[in-house]
Structure 1
């Protein structure tokens, strides 16, 4: 071959190599832009969940930890999860999944998802427990709405409210509550399962007696603990320090943090077996932009927990807090009841019954959609986990040396 041909071939190879490098640089910049947008979107979504610092007068501001607020929180998670999956998989080299540190961080995230599935089951059962509390409150409302208020109505309301308040402080670990041996807990999903055979959150028989339905342990073993589950989820949840050639450690850490935060918030508000207060929650680094709104929400919820001192009791769901407060006041009225009721006292009781009735309506309207969202969250996590596992399995097969 003539020398000029050697020279031309060499220049062509340099040109091809230069184009490949440029293409890699462009892809890297696009990925960095995706990561920045993802973090910004997460921050913006959680900022919308923060209570206004100076709410306008005569405006209906949404209460943190109310049912409507939780529905927004779950919507935020589902949006973040969809964007995370796009950042993680779309346009990425699948071989990155087998490289450090992603080869460790991604399985850890999937393991947290498994634990989150169990918490979803516990929360679904907790919502059913709140439904039973709602029925007791409705009995009291119906009795005290009768006019004139007579002793029989007051006694009926008092029985319902005393049962309600006792149910809110029941010791979840007391084996006598269930009246029998607790069923062994069913794990939500196998460690390496691809999503097949996964049981959705259990339905609860509405005809159960209240004494049985009070138990939060009917679908879980006595050793299961919501607080231990959260602690296990936050184990090894540490912000990446750089040195990641894949550029994916930050979004995996971000999504794991969002997952733990959402599960922690649900457990704090909805009655769940064996939980502790926010003192045991995970710590988020303050130097990251997307963590600031979550830290503010953590602090707000922590203040509410300390204020209510709800360690192991009914939880911080806003509507339940109102029911508990009004129920205690109406029980005091019932204990000192004298017929006929004075005008001033009758007006006070009427206002409290109206407040209790309004909260009952909010619970009746909101608990069903909230429970459906928790189930949607459950199934979304199952599907996403299966999709990521499929990619990891494909990468594992490619990297496996095939003997000839």
Structure 2
């Protein structure tokens, strides 16, 4: 299980300080860059569903990255946050468990990227061409990623409201025998649950409408007697501007994402590009999976080089998520997270039962009804167990992006000072 929250940045900075004046050998550097690419490939390939990789391959992923040094006979290893484990077939694509593994993979890759980029290097090496152009692009994408983290965190708050209403439905409908009071209680909770998802026609004039998370809007779909029970969200965490668009933000961070060419297609330039691709993909996947503000026009394509070995897993995941997005978008899905999709589907079915309830129920109908309530109860249990840790990971992602950006800016600042002649 991901252990989140314990960030070894102080320890990491100490190692950077120790190695700041050491120069890595060319042979050792090539090995580190190749290892970084292999680990990117392994981690994202392990996230593909129905993965048939053998146990030996999965267990061969190293847990630390050796940085070779001409000044030392022994390698320096960097410990990484997170406890990455290979994909399990029980973790369905886009489920809460899968999203947590995706975030875990990103956090591990991000730590390894810092090790490759910074440990054992003079600041001037990081500031020279072509890194002086590529690194600022990465830092800009990281800043834009912070806004996406805010929106996703807000979306999880909204999902928690959905969960609370689903739990009320389960509590009311699990009791036997039924009473009119239980049915009314279930109807109110179902109305509030469905009221959290509304038809958003913004920027969709003349096109099919898309259902999106309400974020404070009130549902016009609930009956007049239950309308006052529709939700009015007020996130207790980071707030998102009303005119902010998740789709536009993803488009912004994915623009100008071009692979290095010629002499830049190897070495650190390629490593920075790979980290850019990983960041863009993870942000795109989060916006597709978790309900957040204005996802209309999100798109299903991000520029990933399919011919590169390190990108095969990312490309496979992109294709599968894009297929889900195209299919669910037509039906107006609030998000691709499996648990949310399942609750939405079960709620629609239970509304029909509640609206047409007559007691005693036919034996066949009552059995089907009980099965759906049991399914809803099981989904609620999974969400209750997973949403809290998931939200902690999103917060960890936010703070990690902030800290890494500060570390790199500090190195660039040192490079600028060392290159300035003394007056």
Is this a same-fold pair by TM over 0.5? yes
Mark the runs of 5 or more structure 2 residues left unpaired by the alignment.
1-21, 54-87, 203-211, 219-228
Match of 2:111 among 82, 88, 113: 82
1:236 counterpart SS class: coil
Task: Return the offset for 1:280.
Answer: 4.8
Match for residue 34 of structure 2?
36
Please name the residue that 1:135 is paired with: 164
Matched ranges for 1:9-158 at <5 A: 27-52=25-50, 61-158=90-187
Corresponding residue of 1:307: 327
Matching residue within 250, 257, 261 for 1:237: 257
Measure how far apart 1:146 and its partner are. Answer: 1.6
TM-fit CA distance, 1:61: 2.4
- Tell me the distance in 2 between the aligned counterparts of 1:159 and 1:137: 11
1:392 equivalent in alignment to 2:412: yes
CA distance in structure 1 between the partners assigned to 2:106 and 2:201 by the alignment: 29
User: What do residues 102-131 of structure 1 show as CA deviations (whole Å, max 9, x unaligned)?
Assistant: 101001101111111111111111100000
Q: Unpaired runs of 5+ in structure 1?
A: 1-22, 181-208
Check 1:260–1:147 CA distance in 2 against 1; reply closer, same or farther (3 A cut).
same
Distance 1:396 1:300 in 2: 44
Displacement, 1:284? 0.5
**Bigger RCO of structures 1 and 2 (CA < 8 A, at least 6 apart):** 1
Partner of 1:7: none
How far apart are residue 156 of structure 1 and its match?
Answer: 2.0
Range 243-252 or range 314-323, more displaced = 243-252
Bigger radius of gyration among the two: 1
Query: Which residue does 1:201 correspond to in 2?
Result: none
Listed one character per residue, the Cα deviations across residues 49-80 of structure 1 (whole Å, up to 9, x for unaligned) are 1001579xxx9622011111111111101110
Q: Distance in 1 between matches of 2:310 and 2:168?
A: 45
1:328 corresponds to which residue? 348
Distance 1:49 1:178 in 2: 34
Indicate the residue corresponding to 2:16 in structure 1.
none
Residue 169 of structure 1 aligns to a residue in which SS?
A: strand
- Native 8 Å contact 1:284 1:291 kept in 2: yes
Cα drift, residue 226 of structure 1: 0.9
Aligned residues between the structures:
348
Separation (CA, whole Å) in 2 of partners of 1:273 and 1:312: 14
Q: TM-score, normalised by structure 2?
A: 0.76
- CA-CA distance at 1:234 after TM superposition: 1.0
Contact 1:35 / 1:87 at 8 angstroms: preserved in 2? yes
Q: Is the 8 A contact 1:115 1:233 kept in 2?
A: yes
Q: CA RMSD in A?
A: 2.8
Moved more, 215-224 or 74-83: 215-224
What secondary structure is seen at the aligned counterpart in 2 of 1:211? coil
CA distance in 2, matches of 1:343, 1:54: 43
User: Per the alignment, do residues 49 and 225 of structure 1 end up closer, same or farther by CA in structure 2, a change over 3 Å counting?
Assistant: same
Q: Would you say the 8 A contact 1:65–1:269 is kept in 2?
A: yes
Q: 1:335 to 1:210 in 2, by over 3 A?
A: closer
Alignment of 1:184-333 (within 5 A): 211-213=231-233, 219-244=239-264, 247-276=267-296, 279-309=299-329, 313-333=333-353
Counterpart in the other structure of 1:164: 193
